[in-house]
Chains A and B, each alone.
Chain A
């Protein structure tokens, strides 16, 4: 249809899902000499700004990324960060109720938002002469949100309904939620971003107000603008709209322990609603923020090599050659401030026990701890990752997200620009080391989802 294809509440329900949206990165000189030039500056109030011009069409995307997420939910109130993302659409003193959405619509724009464990983002895509308008809207709701008891109560019902539809209706999402809770012990990465239903019910106006005052401030945010703009235009518009906002004193994020896991964890979930069995393996590994240079990139290559699509090792061996699975994939989610996550998901071919599938997976991935991947495997994985970065330059939102998520976890613009060359530099031995360091049995949770027998 001819409407925008993006809904106003594109909530990311977990760190993992968020990374799916934000799986974006920029190519450097690898692709072409005239790759986009990136500028950055900081406003007096601490707002970080990144600008990437792209003059294909008179369209611009602004992404505002706050360094607050599910990790910052107070004890007993999981889901608050996600809830707050919803409340940002509930009106300000000068633009009450759904005035934000109405203004976006009447300016022919698209908007959306999402929450992860580490950050919360809002974006607007509009004709370039409307950039100032959407900056005004974001600046307004960063400072002047008008929270009423009634709006909080209704949005809480919406959150509960949304959680039931997205997570409770989906056996795979529930399994992942349970597995993450088991993987991270007391670290808040184990609490779902969407919140536990019984804790969502605790959210009130007081909690929301406190959260807003603590975390929504220009000195806790990153603004990325991609599109048909010049740096000077963005600077003067940003100064005019965001400049007057006062910085707030930020409360340092709690430094949560990530104690070593001393035992293996195996979850067996018998589900009334699941129709097909599923195997999920999660490893707690290093993130881009934690790892020494090149280490996270090696995990990225390892995930692509093992389970990135139908040419990957696991797919070829388990689905095509041995007929043990109907689907299998691996993924590395490394854009987190604390631990990253390496996941393997597989569906067994009918009649194949999950135990057999798990043994076969362990056998294959185990080999990569001891021997180097073949040259062909390595170059296939690397060229797909690097080309993927070029493809994502085709989307303003993907490109903006690549900068937003990186800066939100403490990386730099330079890190994003260098990513393709650092992927290129990954050697077979780096991949072997990443496998050996990452595939630690005690740092993993294995979940079996099985349809309950009736």
Chain B
């Protein structure tokens, strides 16, 4: 083995140089109200666009949970002169891929097309956004499919636990209900309500656009005009701020399943928090996905209680949570929850090791750059930055910002975040009665 290789394998972590640079990405001013970032690359003859609109489930009216998701599901189901089938065929003929994902804050739309079909792709996207038809028959068909999926999810402990966690954690606040809504409210949404919703939320105000691929700045300006110029420019009013968050303790949603699933959460930072990156390092060491984390080592590798466990910092616009999940048998569930608590407590008390901090830094720096080898991943990453309010020079500054974080910063982050007595846990499944955890408070679905 060469010496250089030995260094890479065994020595303290080296920072991987960032491969994306702000100089490859341009901020364009093409469409009023909407922020546009563009990276030109002609390697593969395709264009990837990711656009977010302020039309997530947090904007659902209080009795209309699921309205935003219903509107999203109908995007592409008929627009302008094309009914649902004609629109689908128009996309399919040119193999244009249109994906629509409603989230809590935003509606995220992604479009991938051969560059040779770009004009038609952007024209269809523009029609879908500015002239949705919401034909009654189409609405009925899509509503039935959405209701059926909700019904199916009621049998999936992962879905039940995740929805339950958000419900307990946020209560009546706009983040508390599932993005998909509930059967009764979804059933009540009318065509007029959908039309009113898209007029105020499928808009250029607050819209963020990221484009990567085989086009030029001038050609793109025209394409964007085609797709977005017809939309209103005004932004919807900002969301209110949640009053309370968290419902500490273990909540069991009883269901008959082979393997119960737990979701857990403690308060986390907003993306604008100056300590966000220190918190991200602490999270990576605790339960970062793709990282050899403490939770993965303790709960999976050593105790063999689960097939996998991870945590994420979920920073929505109005609230941040550190959210984790795992599946374990009913007999092992209490032990696994106790493992999670003990791992957090120890981390908060002792802080990270120097090795952990340098490994997590190298991991966060290096893995961030890997997305830039794909136009589609790159566009998604850029849009994620736009949505979380980061500026373009973050691409260049990020590695240095992470490098500047000290072990003590991460220790303090751990102390702030890892407070197991504040932890909300929701288990979908059952726990054995005889050895129920002391602070497990059984309760029914909210």
Complex CA gap A350/B327 in Å reads 31
B435 at the interface (CB under 8 A from A): no
Asked whether, in the complex, the Cβ of B290 is within 8 Å of the Cβ of A7, the reply is yes
Given contacts A1-B289, A2-B368, A54-B43, contact A105 B362 (CB under 8 A): yes
Other contacts beyond A57-B373, A311-B92, A316-B85: 4, CB < 8 A: A105-B290, A132-B5, A326-B148, A350-B144
Asked whether, in the complex, the Cβ of B85 is within 8 Å of the Cβ of A3, the reply is no
Please give me the 9 A-B residue pairs with the lowest Cβ-Cβ distance, nearest first. Answer: A108-B366, A162-B307, A4-B290, A157-B304, A168-B258, A387-B95, A311-B92, A164-B259, A165-B327
Complex CA gap A105/B327 in Å reads 24
A412 at the interface (CB under 8 A from B): no
Asked whether, in the complex, the Cβ of B259 is within 8 Å of the Cβ of A161, the reply is yes
Asked whether, in the complex, the Cβ of B370 is within 8 Å of the Cβ of A59, the reply is yes
Residue of B8, B156, B328, B372 contacting most chain A CB atoms (<10 Å): B8
| Residues of B with C-beta under 8 A to A55 | 43
Asked whether, in the complex, the Cβ of B307 is within 8 Å of the Cβ of A158, the reply is yes
Closest B residue to A240 using CB positions: B2
Asked whether, in the complex, the Cβ of B365 is within 8 Å of the Cβ of A108, the reply is yes
Asked whether, in the complex, the Cβ of B156 is within 8 Å of the Cβ of A56, the reply is no
B176 at the interface (CB under 8 A from A): no
| Residues of A with C-beta under 8 A to B46 | 390-391, 394
Complex CA gap A327/B152 in Å reads 13
Asked whether, in the complex, the Cβ of A390 is within 8 Å of the Cβ of B289, the reply is no
Distance in Å: Cβ of A90 to nearest Cβ of chain B: 8
Complex CA gap A101/B15 in Å reads 17
Complex CA gap A316/B303 in Å reads 50
Asked whether, in the complex, the Cβ of B16 is within 8 Å of the Cβ of A107, the reply is yes
Complex CA gap A180/B20 in Å reads 46
Q: B13 is contacted by which of A106, A153, A155, A275 (Cβ under 8 Å)?
A: A106
Asked whether, in the complex, the Cβ of B145 is within 8 Å of the Cβ of A4, the reply is no
Asked whether, in the complex, the Cβ of A1 is within 8 Å of the Cβ of B280, the reply is yes
Interface of chain B residues 342 through 373 with chain A (CB within 8 A):
358-360, 362-370, 372-373
18 contacts between A and B (CB under 8 A): A2-B280, A7-B308, A8-B290, A97-B301, A98-B301, A103-B9, A105-B359, A106-B359, A161-B259, A163-B307, A275-B155, A309-B88, A319-B145, A349-B148, A380-B92, A380-B93, A387-B114, A394-B374
Complex CA gap A181/B426 in Å reads 36
Complex CA gap A274/B302 in Å reads 33
Given contacts A2-B367, A136-B9, contact A169 B141 (CB under 8 A): no
| Residues of B with C-beta under 8 A to A186 | none
| Residues of A with C-beta under 8 A to B314 | 1
A41 at the interface (CB under 8 A from B): no
Complex CA gap A275/B93 in Å reads 36
Asked whether, in the complex, the Cβ of A7 is within 8 Å of the Cβ of B289, the reply is yes
Q: B8 is contacted by which of A101, A130, A153, A390 (Cβ under 8 Å)?
A: A130
A395 at the interface (CB under 8 A from B): yes
Asked whether, in the complex, the Cβ of B88 is within 8 Å of the Cβ of A310, the reply is yes
A440 at the interface (CB under 8 A from B): no
B192 at the interface (CB under 8 A from A): no
Complex CA gap A98/B5 in Å reads 19
Complex CA gap A265/B88 in Å reads 36
| Residues of A with C-beta under 8 A to B301 | 97-98, 154, 158
Asked whether, in the complex, the Cβ of A127 is within 8 Å of the Cβ of B9, the reply is no
| Residues of A with C-beta under 8 A to B375 | 56, 394
Asked whether, in the complex, the Cβ of A109 is within 8 Å of the Cβ of B366, the reply is yes
Distance in Å: Cβ of B374 to nearest Cβ of chain A: 5
A251 at the interface (CB under 8 A from B): no
Complex CA gap A154/B304 in Å reads 5
Asked whether, in the complex, the Cβ of B369 is within 8 Å of the Cβ of A59, the reply is yes
Asked whether, in the complex, the Cβ of A161 is within 8 Å of the Cβ of B45, the reply is no
Complex CA gap A223/B114 in Å reads 30
| Residues of A with C-beta under 8 A to B416 | none
Binary interface encoding of chain B residues 145-158 relative to chain A, with 1 for a CB under 8 A from any of its CBs, else 0: 10010011111111
Task: Using C-beta atoms within 8 Å of the partner chain, give the interface range for chain B.
Answer: 35 or more
Task: Using C-beta atoms within 8 Å of the partner chain, give the interface range for chain A.
Answer: 35 or more
Closest B residue to A155 using CB positions: B304
Given contacts A55-B43, A98-B292, A161-B304, contact A4 B367 (CB under 8 A): yes
B297 at the interface (CB under 8 A from A): yes
Asked whether, in the complex, the Cβ of A171 is within 8 Å of the Cβ of B155, the reply is yes
Distance in Å: Cβ of B1 to nearest Cβ of chain A: 7
Q: A56 is contacted by which of B43, B88, B303 (Cβ under 8 Å)?
A: B43
| Residues of B with C-beta under 8 A to A309 | 88, 92
Asked whether, in the complex, the Cβ of B151 is within 8 Å of the Cβ of A276, the reply is yes
B329 at the interface (CB under 8 A from A): yes
Q: A311 is contacted by which of B91, B154, B284, B310 (Cβ under 8 Å)?
A: B91
Given contacts A98-B301, A165-B327, A394-B48, contact A105 B291 (CB under 8 A): yes
Asked whether, in the complex, the Cβ of B148 is within 8 Å of the Cβ of A347, the reply is yes
A126 at the interface (CB under 8 A from B): yes
Asked whether, in the complex, the Cβ of A56 is within 8 Å of the Cβ of B41, the reply is yes
Interface of chain A residues 376 through 415 with chain B (CB within 8 A):
380, 383-384, 386-388, 390-391, 393-396
Complex CA gap A101/B283 in Å reads 17
| Residues of B with C-beta under 8 A to A311 | 85, 88-89, 91-92
B44 at the interface (CB under 8 A from A): yes
Interface of chain B residues 293 through 330 with chain A (CB within 8 A):
297, 300-308, 310, 312-314, 327-329
Distance in Å: Cβ of B307 to nearest Cβ of chain A: 3
| Residues of A with C-beta under 8 A to B112 | 391, 394
Asked whether, in the complex, the Cβ of B155 is within 8 Å of the Cβ of A274, the reply is yes
Complex CA gap A103/B13 in Å reads 9
Q: A276 is contacted by which of B16, B148, B258, B307 (Cβ under 8 Å)?
A: B148
Binary interface encoding of chain A residues 35-53 relative to chain B, with 1 for a CB under 8 A from any of its CBs, else 0: 0000000000000000000
| Residues of B with C-beta under 8 A to A57 | 19-20, 369, 372-373
Closest A residue to B280 using CB positions: A2
Asked whether, in the complex, the Cβ of B45 is within 8 Å of the Cβ of A350, the reply is no
Binary interface encoding of chain A residues 80-114 relative to chain B, with 1 for a CB under 8 A from any of its CBs, else 0: 00000000000000010110011101111111000
B269 at the interface (CB under 8 A from A): no
Complex CA gap A101/B310 in Å reads 15
A235 at the interface (CB under 8 A from B): no
A357 at the interface (CB under 8 A from B): no
| Residues of B with C-beta under 8 A to A394 | 44, 46, 48, 112, 374-376
Asked whether, in the complex, the Cβ of A106 is within 8 Å of the Cβ of B43, the reply is no
Q: A3 is contacted by which of B5, B94, B291, B373 (Cβ under 8 Å)?
A: B291
A176 at the interface (CB under 8 A from B): no
Distance in Å: Cβ of A11 to nearest Cβ of chain B: 8
Given contacts A109-B366, A311-B91, A380-B92, contact A390 B291 (CB under 8 A): no
Complex CA gap A61/B50 in Å reads 24
| Residues of A with C-beta under 8 A to B92 | 309-311, 380, 384
Asked whether, in the complex, the Cβ of B48 is within 8 Å of the Cβ of A161, the reply is no
Complex CA gap A355/B194 in Å reads 36
Interface of chain A residues 301 through 351 with chain B (CB within 8 A):
309-311, 316, 319-320, 323, 326-327, 347, 349-350
B257 at the interface (CB under 8 A from A): yes
Complex CA gap A432/B19 in Å reads 50
